Amino acid sequence: MKTSKLSLLICIYSFSILCGQTSIDEFLNLSKQLVRRSLEDRKGYYWLKELCEIGPRLVASSNSYNAIEWARKKMIESGFDSVWLQPVRVPVWIRGDREECQIIKSKEYSGKKLNITALGGSIGTGDNGVSGRVVVVHDFMELYTKRDKVKGNFVFFNRSLDFGEVETFSAYGKAVDQRIYGAIEAAKYGAVGVIVRSITTKHDNTPHTGILRYNDSIPRIPAVVIGNLDADFLVNAIKVEPNLELYIKLSCKSLDDTISYNVIGEIRGCELPNEVVLVGGHIDSWDKGCGAHDNGTGVIHSMEALDLIKRLNFNPKRTIRCVLFMGEEFNSIGGIEYNNYAQSTEQIHIAAIESDRGGFTPRGFSVEADSNIILDLQKFLPYLSLAKIDWIRKGGSGADISRLKNVKAKIGFVPDNQRYMDVHHSDNDIFEEVHPRELQLGSAAIAILALLISQFGL
Ligand SMILES: [Zn+2]
């Protein structure tokens, strides 16, 4: 027992004094230590609790500024070599307090309230609200066939995600067009508003919000999402009484743009400081739950990867930089702004790793890169498997880092995805939904990958 502790101490000591000399064999030991310390200390999990206690982090909300300051202070306390804020111009959208939806002009159902919430960026309804009949459609194709019935009424996009798909992100991707573009498509035919069935894998009544788009040449109409149980109720009610009407009142609105910040901190490379390995995730969230899995866990993974390296007193060869992007939920504006900065410096970003798929058990890394680089990364699997990473393959990386140009590898962290859409963008996305061991394995996996790239390059 004593001997192994002593050899461990020697090992850690040797990591701390060497710069860029660690052999790939020594790396196995270091990786084991990263995993053990992450699971044992649970520092990221306690950080996540603090972050969640601030509350949800809607862009430009006071919580979002508190979260920026919280992250900046933590990075300084962790002993990062540099910590700074990068200004980002952001839109300001506020939900307001009134979100009402009820059935009217119905024998059976008048007065029945339905659980809705406005989509991000939606206009409000004005003080009088809006009302109309409801045209139920499956998709844009069916909307087109029913276009003559739409004028003066609501369009209800009633398509859930495909429960038969194994990959929940793919199922989400195929259902989300109605949420993003539904208001544009319905307004083309004179709709007064849009209702979208909540896109989730859970069968509950919690509405899941998200961004919508408007088109400047088409009138803007209010858009809401409705909980699944009430969506079922509404579909059945309309079958019984096709002429029933809905009344919706929203007080959301957009204000002038303002300034927010990306939070950036780094451990400077001891041998090649101008070569950067970026680790990041967005710090903003929707104003639902506390944005625990989306994307509190990505914030923690990114910060803790660097903190773990500091905890083991390791000096990376290349710079490892943590970037917490502001405004991913509003079209990745922080990612775009960071890329502007990256293009203007002398530094070379050799790789970027993003965590924005929740804090569940690690599975793999999905990489945008040439095949020879992916083959090189696959050689790291024996180390990454210590943190439950099974695969590295070609695929999409992440919304924020996909904006980066001139990077050899853009890498998305992929945890298990079966429960992510249960909580995504909704009041279900709370701290209690995150498991400490699953979260901590993610921090360790990202720390190991960042260090491997920092030591051995690509
Ligand atoms: Zn996200």
Q: What is the pLDDT of residues 1-11, one digit of tens each?
A: 444 444 444 44
Whole-number Å distance between alpha carbons of 58 and 42:
26
175 contacts 199 by C-beta, under 8 angstroms: yes
Q: What does DSSP say about strands 348-354 and 318-325: parallel, antiparallel, or unpaired?
A: unpaired
Span from the CA of 240 to the centroid of ligand 1 (angstroms):
39
Average pLDDT, the chain: 95
Query: Has residue 12 got a pLDDT over 60?
Result: no
Span from the CA of 257 to the centroid of ligand 1 (angstroms):
21
Question: Of 25-29, 82-86, 242-246, which range is least confident?
Answer: 25-29
Reported as a single tens digit per residue, the pLDDT across 326-354 is: 999 999 999 999 999 999 999 999 999 99
Whole-number Å distance between alpha carbons of 413 and 415:
7
Span from the CA of 197 to the centroid of ligand 1 (angstroms):
20
Reported as a single tens digit per residue, the pLDDT across 152-210 is: 999 999 999 999 999 999 999 999 999 999 999 999 999 999 999 999 999 999 999 99
> Backbone phi, then psi, for 99, in 5-degree steps?
-135, 100
**Choices 3.90.1150.10, 3.40.980.10, 2.60.40.1180, 3.50.30.30: CATH for 96-251:** 3.50.30.30
Q: Cα angle at 65 between 440 and 75, to 5 degrees?
A: 45
Span from the CA of 333 to the centroid of ligand 1 (angstroms):
13
Query: Has residue 24 got a pLDDT over 90?
Result: no
pLDDT band at 370 (very low <50, low <70, confident <90, very high): very high
Span from the CA of 347 to the centroid of ligand 1 (angstroms):
27
Whole-number Å distance between alpha carbons of 15 and 31:
12
Provide the residue ranges of all domains of the chain, joining segments of one domain with +: 19-92+256-456, 96-251
Per the confidence metrics, is the pTM higher than 0.75? yes
Span from the CA of 401 to the centroid of ligand 1 (angstroms):
12
Span from the CA of 209 to the centroid of ligand 1 (angstroms):
12
- Domain made up of 19-92+256-456: CATH architecture: 3-Layer(aba) Sandwich (3.40)
Q: Which helix (H) or strand (E) holds 252?
A: none
Which residues lie closer than 8 Å to 280 by C-beta, 6 or more apart?
298, 302, 322, 323, 324, 325, 352, 353, 354, 355, 400, 401
Span from the CA of 33 to the centroid of ligand 1 (angstroms):
29
Span from the CA of 294 to the centroid of ligand 1 (angstroms):
5
